[in-house]
Structure 1
Amino acid sequence: MKKLRTPRAKKLGEMIRARAVVGKSLKSAMGHRNMNIIKEFEKVRDIPYRIPLFPEEPDECCTGKAEMLFKVFKKGGYEARYRLCTFRWNSLNLPKEIQKVPHDDNSSHTYLEIKIDEQWKVIDATWDSKLKDIFNANEWDGKSDTEIAVNCIECLSPEESLEYIKHILTPEAIIFDLKVNRKFYKAFNEWLEMKRAK
């Protein structure tokens, strides 16, 4: 016998389905331990981006912020992994006076991928929201990809990314990088501070 669906029953069914969709979205955003990963992302994103000028300074550039967020995601029970791509500083449309400071124009950029609903999503918290007038300070809905903060030339595999990151974080690599680029990093940091103050 075919069941007749009254308007009330139909409406009730729609409400149940809608609640199920909302519940799934909330579960994705809240994580496995009731962590609001959107708010946690925003906390890390809004740490002012700054490249350390000495090995003992805190790392608040892309690699340091990716590491912070990686730990947050792991604590929340999420599967996350590091990714790295290459880029050129001159692709960021920096002022000419900063571009003229001697530096290696070829560089690398670190970001993350997090597994949500069995799919890897790009998560990049590099630029803080006070830089939104000059760079893309990502907003995140807790389920979609964000944009990568730089114009990538080549994206390394997850395995290659991890090996490369391990290399660039060795004391020898850090000292060499600062020897070549410290003046440029200082000028870049100061320019960002000036932009935030406007």
Structure 2
Amino acid sequence: MTEPVGLRARKRERTRRAISEAAIAMFLADGFDEVSVADVAAAAEVSKPTLFRYFPTKEDLVLDRFADHRGEAARVVRGREPGETPLAALKRHIRKALGERDPVTGLCDDPEVLAFNRLVFGTPSLASRLAQHRAYDTDELAAAFQEATGEKDAFLCRLVAVQIVAVTHELAHRNAAKLAAGRSADEVHREAVAALDRAFALLGEGAEKFGY
């Protein structure tokens, strides 16, 4: 009897999650470079070929946690409220994420999140792959800006997108550094919001002249 499509999808997702969780637990305990893919497969009770069907590279075992955020800025711009500028929509979205202590903002002091951040930013191959994610986000955001503004100069849209992706990354890195130094997310929240406001004010001085 053929297994229902929905059931197969749920099983695949459970397997994917189990592999990722096993990998991250091992990487946090022993270090990314010290744990092999074979070690992860054995811990997750799957074969190496099965593991690679879900995660093409070792780095993907970790960075899969960022998958939901890939292209997020572009989605915010495309889904902005009527009459809202793209820049205002992005600022509103990040402010909300700060309030919710979303790990992607760097303002989350959950011990597991702090340990995960140390793993990612302390491992050169992971930090390098994360930069590739930011490049993808830049491409998507530039395309969304061009759609939103009708700007014919694609390079101009890309320049704005590069600035915004870089600024949001730097803000998150700054927040994470403050938490790594021992401060709480609640303590840093007001400073994080103020830094966001200042950064987007600077961006807005130039970008909003072009309808962003």
Fold conserved between structures, TM > 0.5: no
| More helix by percentage | 2
| More strand by percentage | 1
TM-score (norm 2): 0.32
- Structure of larger gyration radius: 1
